[in-house]
């Protein structure tokens, strides 16, 4: 059964913009992205919105719905009362290109700063081996679809644009943790995470975990363990002794 949905959608570009009021017909079982597409097709053909798979796996259609960072394709209209006005705005943390499309290149620049996986030489039989428990530990981290909702909601950069040069954000703390926990990786990224990536600026409010569409426990399973690893390297006497005798005492580019 269809009904008339009241929407407020942000229209504008880098120079500014405002919310426009619209009423669009929607049907039972649809998501917010369906309403946006129908709005495009019937009223505002020049409305800009980024999307791709419409299945919650590409991370393209990130926006803010009634002030909450969400995927447009995974937000059901049935979650809202039919009489409620749904407000759709672009992600606030990133510069607007046009309408609901934002420039997320900040995240790609941060990805370039992170040293890639560096395994040791293969075993004599040409293979590499690791325990199953280590395989399973990293599976959660690899569920990330890079929607950047966690980056958008993190108040360190959401409310303080000046922090961006010194702060990588939760998506990349997740990657730092994944690589640091990998038993076959030879780089030590702990100092890099604490220094250039700004791990210490995170005060673990768990807002990133709350908005993750994949349900990844970013704070509990990545950020906090990574903070603990940084502290261990600096203050744990056994780790200090190991570093003194040359155990994992190399920086990220492999130099002593």
- Residue 202 φ/ψ, nearest 5 degrees: -75, 130
Q: Is the pLDDT of residue 183 over 50?
A: yes
Q: Is the pLDDT of residue 251 over 50?
A: no
Over the stretch 75-131, which tens digit does the pLDDT of each residue have?
Answer: 999 999 999 999 999 999 999 999 999 999 999 999 999 999 999 999 999 999 999
Query: Domain for residue 253, yes or no?
Result: no
CB-CB contact of 104 with 162 (8 Å): no
Query: Domain for residue 152, yes or no?
Result: yes
pLDDT-derived band at 235, boundaries 50, 70, 90: confident
Q: Which residues contact 215 (CB under 8 A, 6 or more apart)?
A: 143
Query: In this predicted structure, which of 26-40, 116-130, 241-255 has the lowest mean pLDDT?
Result: 241-255
Give the pLDDT confidence score for residue 248 in this predicted structure. 52
Same domain, 59 and 186: no
Q: Tell me how many domains the chain contains.
A: 2
The CATH code of the domain that includes 113 is 1.10.1060.10
Give the pLDDT confidence score for residue 102 in this predicted structure. 98
Count of CB atoms situated within 10 Å of the CB of 1: 5
Residue whose pair of structure tokens reads 């560096």 in the numeric block: 118
Question: Domain range spanning residue 179?
Answer: 104-245
Give the pLDDT confidence score for residue 253 in this predicted structure. 42
């Amino acid at each position: 059964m269809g009904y008339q949905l009241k929407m407020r959608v942000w229209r504008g570009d880098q120079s500014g913009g405002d919310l426009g009021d619209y009423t669009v017909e929607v049907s039972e079982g649809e998501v917010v992205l369906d309403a946006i597409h129908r709005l495009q097709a019937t009223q505002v053909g020049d409305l800009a919105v980024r999307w791709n798979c419409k299945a919650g796996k590409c991370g393209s259609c990130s926006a803010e719905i009634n002030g909450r960072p969400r995927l447009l394709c995974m937000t059901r209209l049935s979650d809202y009362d039919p009489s409620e006005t749904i407000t759709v705005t672009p992600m606030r943390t990133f510069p607007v290109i046009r309408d609901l499309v934002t420039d997320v290149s900040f995240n790609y620049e941060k990805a370039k700063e992170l040293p890639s996986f560096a395994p040791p030489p293969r075993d004599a039989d040409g293979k590499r081996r690791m325990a199953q428990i280590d395989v399973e530990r990293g599976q959660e981290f690899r569920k990330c679809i890079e929607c950047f909702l966690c980056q958008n909601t993190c108040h360190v950069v959401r409310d303080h644009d000046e922090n961006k040069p010194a702060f990588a954000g939760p998506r990349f703390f997740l990657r730092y943790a994944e690589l640091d926990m990998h038993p076959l990786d030879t780089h030590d990224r702990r100092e890099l995470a604490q220094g250039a990536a700004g791990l210490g600026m995170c005060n673990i409010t768990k807002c990133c975990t709350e908005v993750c569409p994949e349900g990844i426990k970013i704070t509990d399973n990545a950020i906090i363990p990574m903070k603990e690893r940084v502290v261990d390297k600096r203050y744990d006497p056994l780790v200090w002794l190991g570093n003194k005798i040359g155990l994992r005492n190399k920086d990220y580019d492999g130099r002593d």
